[in-house]
Structure 1
């Protein structure tokens, strides 16, 4: 059996995904741009963590010759190299590469580097298989660690690695897992020994945890024909009610028995779908509209994050605003548009904050969709720039939420598929706007925008100009969409 630590953890989540990876890889969903960006972040974090253990030597990666990698690792150990990066070991067909291996008089110390901000349970399985291989080869391992990002760190002028990273000793936890590993390996070997018969493992909570499985689309849609809107949208995956229905082969919402125990909100969603009925509380919507004062300022931010903060006052994974769109609507329906897009390669927050308070007067109604996001961004800017704190917090306190009528169920249509996310509300209320997003070139969602700006400084001047134009068109459409949604609420 050929197994790596990543395949081992994949099998821990679901052995079927391991079988598919080996015998039917064409059914797996390839990583998208966001996933590729996360992989790159992991590489950057891993390289930087090595600086915590300086003066080491790295084992060059060669996917065609793990044996040579292991031999070089052994040579470095015999030479007395204190720190080895990507130290490689092979035992019984299992290949593990230790991110950082530290050689001490008392034995070896393992360090697994993760770009997350805590120690997730799946990481312990990752480290446990490394410990299993090394101890099976006869090495003495004195300690095992997970190195992860400290989310509470705030960068000063210089990056302080000892504060950016947290080193957590997980020796006891992974040692306790050793006894169960041989049985797991035997189970995985049994699955892989039969190349003709796909494992019969049902869908469940494991499809999403700890990660969304790359076989989910295959298992859910191709094999079980689960529609986009099903009982899994009404009841949480893995919940008791969802499991009760699935045990009775009930997947379609229209098949849920009328007497099935549900909350009032769940029942409303089910009834609306069964009857294909649009529910509108005209009085509640009118009451919401009466709270809005013109001119209305429709605001939407685009942000990106840095695992390794590049600028003073930034924490790991802090949302850094780099762009906003602002549509201004007068009482007679007249629209004006303002926008901001930062230059790449430098901290965009100050310039954005200054433009924001210049574009929006203090005592006007600012409308956002899911306002908690905009409020967090503005509050963070106010904390960072004390001289702008007063006008920024004035904007913060005057934000109102366009999501409320949908979140509270004042407007619900089957087309919204039980959700109040703008992703479902917009095409349900203003279908032509959905087509407008599809016609955008290059950038069609927030993830695209975040990745595009984060990598903008690496592009040529001509390419930067093209991407900036795409960013502006996308963000402008976000606030125009809010204008159209509110317009629909006015009409009804």
Structure 2
């Protein structure tokens, strides 16, 4: 059996995913731009973490010569090198690369580097298979650690990697996992020994935990024809009711019995879908609209995150605003548009905060969709730049949430599929706006924007100009979409 630590952890989540990865790769969903960015972040964090263990040597990765990597590791261990990065070991077909191996007079220490901000259970399995291989090879391992980002760290002028990272001793946890590994390996070997027959493992909560499986689309839609909107949308995946209905062969919402016990919200979702009817509470929508005063400032931020903060005052994975769009709607129907896109390569926050307080007065209605995000960004800016603090916090005092009428089910259509996300509300109310996003060039959603901005510095002049234009067009459409959604709400009351 040929197995790496990444394949082992994939099998921990679902053995079928392991089999598909080995023998039926074509059905797996390729990683999207966000996933690729996450992989890239992991590599950068891994390289930086090696500086916590200075003067080591790195075994150069060569997928065509794992035996050579193993030999290099062995040679360096015999030389007495204290730290070996990507130390490589092979036992009975199981290949493991240890991020950082420390050689001490008392034995070996394993350090697994992760770009996350906490120790997840799956990481313990990752370390446990490394420990298993080293023990089977006869090495004495004294301790095992996970090195991860500390998101409470706030960068000063200089980056302090000793504060950026946390080193957590997980020896007890991974030692406890050792007893189950031989049985797991036998199980996986049995699955892999049968190349012709795909494992018959049903769908469930493991399809999304700890990660969304790259075989989910295949297992759910291709094999089982799970519709886009199903009992899995009404009831949480893995919940008692979802498991119960699925166990009875009920997937389609229209097949849920009338007598089935549900909460009031669940019943409403089910009935709306069965009736294919739109529900509108005009009085409640009017009450919401009455809280808005003209001019209305439709606001949307775009942000990105850094695992390793580049600038002073920023924490790992903090939401860093680099852009905003502002559509200002007046009582006579006229619309103004203002926007800012930060310069690449520099901290965009100060200029953004400065322009924001110039563009938005302290006493006007500001409308956002899912306002907690915009208010959170504003509050962080206020904390970072005291000179703008009072103004920014006053803006927050006047923020209203366009999501509110949909969240409270004042306006429900079957097309919303029980969701109040703008992803579902917009195509239901303003389908032409939803189509407009598809025609955008390059940047069509928040993830695209978040991934594009940090790469501007490395782009050619022409590519950078095109990307900046695409970012501006996308963010502008976000607030224009809000204007159109609000217009639909007004039409309900005016009819």
> Does TM, normalized by the shorter one, top 0.5?
yes
Match of 2:334 in 1: 334
Match of 1:210 in 2: 210
CA distance in 2, matches of 1:140, 1:243: 45
CA distance in 1, matches of 2:177, 2:402: 49
| Structure 2 residue 255 is matched with structure 1 residue 248 | no
Q: What SS does the aligned partner of 1:61 have?
A: coil
CA distance in 1, matches of 2:362, 2:173: 54
- Can you list the C-alpha shifts for 1:23-81, whole angstroms capped at 9, x where unaligned? 11000000000000000000000000000000000000001110100000000000000
TM, length-normalised to structure 2: 0.99
**How well do the aligned residues superpose, as a CA RMSD in angstroms?**
0.4
| Structure 2 residue 357 is matched with structure 1 residue 349 | no
Match of 2:101 in 1: 101
CA distance in 1, matches of 2:197, 2:475: 48
CA distance in 2, matches of 1:215, 1:101: 33
Match of 1:127 in 2: 127
| Structure 2 residue 271 is matched with structure 1 residue 281 | no
CA distance in 1, matches of 2:368, 2:108: 54
Match of 1:401 in 2: 401
Q: What SS does the aligned partner of 2:418 have?
A: coil
Kindly report which structure 2 residues correspond to 1:15-164, keeping only aligned pairs within 5 A, or say none: 15-164=15-164
Q: What SS does the aligned partner of 2:100 have?
A: strand
Shift of 1:220: 0.1
Q: What SS does the aligned partner of 2:262 have?
A: coil
CA distance in 2, matches of 1:237, 1:307: 30
Shift of 1:397: 1.1
Gaps of at least 5 residues in structure 1 are: none
Shift of 1:461: 1.3
Matched residue pairs, number? 492
CA distance in 2, matches of 1:34, 1:47: 20
| Structure 2 residue 485 is matched with structure 1 residue 485 | yes
Match of 2:315 in 1: 315
Match of 1:463 in 2: 463
Shift of 1:489: 0.3
Q: What SS does the aligned partner of 1:177 have?
A: helix
CA distance in 1, matches of 2:459, 2:220: 39
- Can you list the C-alpha shifts for 1:67-108, whole angstroms capped at 9, x where unaligned? 100000000000000000000000000000000000111100
CA distance in 2, matches of 1:452, 1:176: 43
CA distance in 2, matches of 1:454, 1:256: 47
Match of 2:384 in 1: 384
Gaps of at least 5 residues in structure 2 are: none
CA distance in 1, matches of 2:104, 2:196: 47
Runs of 4+ in structure 1 deviating by more than 4 angstroms, as ranges, are none
Kindly report which structure 2 residues correspond to 1:180-219, keeping only aligned pairs within 5 A, or say none: 180-219=180-219
- Can you list the C-alpha shifts for 1:195-238, whole angstroms capped at 9, x where unaligned? 01000000000000000000000000000000000000000000
- Can you list the C-alpha shifts for 1:109-153, whole angstroms capped at 9, x where unaligned? 000000000000000000000000000000010110000000100
Shift of 1:454: 1.2
